[in-house]
């Protein structure tokens, strides 16, 4: 596997404690933002000290991990803070499809972090090196919209075809996604979308990486030393119009055989993938409800202790793709996705997050997101399809899932 690398021979890294910086997103000086923020804590980065383009293939996570070990292992690091996310950090995003060439890791030149009452600034390279020109954020203007690969009726037909395959016994579940385009008068600033998403969905992981911006509710994996955690989400309904309607929708979701089956597929796969890596593993027998601003999900928090030293990317490799974004059996579902979606997802529904020199990190699944390219934004939404799925209802669910990024763009 040949990696495309842009990096100096040796990184020089210095981390210092700083006073509370306040809102992390407001500190980003340029639209080319890197971010991973939840409830005001996390990391933001800017500038670029090193970049890795990872070609598609079964060994892409291992190749990225080896490169980072070499890069960080040879670095001169001064890090008196010594917490997850301090010292050098790589922000990353991997293509959903193992064949995708869209996987990228970026080590920024400045990283500002806050966690558990501590704040720090990491500088990679010489402090007096020039950075990008500071530019004030500007909201998108004069937006227009157009279909992506499939029209709404075309996507419904794809869902119907998937249901027929599932009822025919070829597979148990497949996740089908569709895309939608927004066009603005001027280049779209990722910081505006980050600000709106973080304000509206503080409990989600608001992220930006190489033009991909979103707020995902789904934590694929967190590694802190030998401990790991994951949050499995599958089974969705919109929030109610009032408290009574909200309670009724929550009860129906929790009792729904279709949604419970969809969730069970995802939770069982995560358990089976993590069990060989863990000395201890806790998977709840029953899901709980996760309430977001516009949606409710069935959720299962998973916790464990690793059997031996492994980086967070080792665990990502074992988990991706989960049935929550692909389906089951995985290979059959992936083939059906390639056949029916009519598009390349790119990094949508792939792992997105960060890793530090200790192998600690947090990675989510890139959901509720858009890929920015100048004046254009490509939005994505996906739904889990099982034997009982109704194509019209799935289309409504997909439209609901688009709302997070539509609100971020429209204000």
Nearest to 265 by CA among 229, 217, 233: 233
Structure tokens at 222: 């967190």
Separation of alpha carbons 315 and 66, rounded Å? 14
Q: Which residues of 288-305 are buried (b: 16+ CB within 10 A; e: fewer)?
A: eebebeebbbbbbebbbe
**Peptide bond just before 213 cis, omega within 30 deg:** no
DSSP label of 128:
T
Task: Answer whether 15's CB lies under 8 Å from 122's CB.
Answer: yes
User: Which long-range contacts does 272-278 make (Cβ < 8 Å, 24+ apart)?
Assistant: 273/318, 273/319, 273/322, 274/228, 274/230, 274/302, 274/304, 274/315, 274/318, 274/319, 276/307, 276/318, 277/304, 277/306, 277/307, 277/310, 277/314, 277/315, 277/318, 278/228, 278/304, 278/305, 278/306, 278/307
| Residue 59 backbone phi and psi in degrees, to 5 | -100, 20
Count of CB atoms within 10 A of residue 217's CB? Answer: 21
Q: Where are the alpha helices (DSSP H) in 126-216?
A: 152-167, 190-200
Separation of alpha carbons 3 and 285, rounded Å? 42
Coil, helix or strand at residue 238:
strand
Catalytic residue (choose from 48, 173, 262, 401): 173
Catalytic residue (choose from 218, 341, 371, 397): 218
Q: Is 218 a catalytic residue?
A: yes
Separation of alpha carbons 238 and 246, rounded Å? 9
Q: What is the per-residue DSSP string for 308-334?
A: S---HHHHHHHHPSPTTTSEESHHHHH
Separation of alpha carbons 312 and 225, rounded Å? 10
Task: Answer whether 317's CB lies under 8 Å from 377's CB.
Answer: no
Instruction: Give the DSSP H or E segment for 378.
Output: strand 376-385
Task: Answer whether 249's CB lies under 8 Å from 222's CB.
Answer: no
Active site residues: 173, 218
């Amino acid at each position: 596997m040949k990696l495309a690398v842009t990096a100096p021979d040796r990184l020089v890294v210095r981390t210092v404690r700083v006073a509370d910086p306040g809102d992390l997103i407001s500190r980003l000086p340029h639209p080319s933002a890197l971010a991973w923020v939840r409830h005001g804590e996390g990391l933001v980065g800017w500038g670029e000290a090193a970049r890795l383009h990872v070609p598609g293939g079964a060994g892409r996570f291992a190749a990225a991990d080896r490169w980072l070990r070499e890069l960080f292992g040879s670095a001169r690091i001064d890090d008196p803070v010594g917490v997850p996310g301090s010292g050098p950090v790589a922000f990353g995003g991997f293509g959903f499809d193992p064949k995708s060439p869209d996987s990228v890791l970026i080590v920024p030149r400045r990283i500002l972090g806050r966690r558990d009452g501590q704040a720090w600034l990491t500088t990679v390279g010489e402090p007096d090196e020039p950075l990008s020109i500071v530019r004030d954020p500007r909201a998108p203007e004069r937006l227009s919209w157009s279909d992506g690969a499939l029209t709404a009726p075309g996507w419904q037909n794809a869902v119907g075809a998937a249901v027929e395959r599932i009822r025919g016994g070829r597979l148990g579940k497949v996740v089908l996604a569709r895309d939608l385009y927004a066009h603005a008068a001027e280049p779209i600033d990722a910081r505006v979308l980050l600000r709106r998403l973080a304000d509206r969905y503080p409990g989600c992981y608001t992220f930006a990486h190489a033009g991909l911006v979103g707020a995902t509710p789904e934590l694929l994996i967190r590694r802190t030393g030998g401990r790991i955690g994951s949050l499995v989400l599958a089974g969705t309904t919109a929030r109610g119009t009032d408290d009574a309607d909200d309670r009724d929708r929550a009860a129906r979701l929790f009792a729904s055989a279709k949604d419970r089956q969809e969730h069970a597929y995802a939770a069982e796969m995560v358990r089976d993938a993590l069990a060989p890596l863990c000395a201890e593993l806790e998977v709840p027998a029953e899901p709980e409800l996760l309430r977001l601003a516009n949606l409710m999900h069935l959720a299962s928090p998973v916790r464990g202790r690793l059997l031996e030293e492994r980086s967070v990317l080792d665990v990502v490799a074992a988990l991706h793709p989960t049935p929550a974004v692909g389906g089951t059996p995985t290979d059959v579902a992936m083939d059906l996705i390639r056949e029916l979606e009519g598009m390349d997802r790119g990094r949508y529904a792939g792992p997105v997050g960060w890793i530090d020199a200790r192998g600690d990190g947090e990675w989510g699944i890139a959901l509720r997101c858009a890929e920015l390219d100048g004046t254009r934004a490509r939005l994505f939404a996906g739904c889990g399809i099982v034997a009982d799925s109704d194509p019209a209802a799935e289309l409504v669910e997909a439209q609901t899932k688009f709302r997070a990024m539509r609100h971020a763009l429209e204000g």
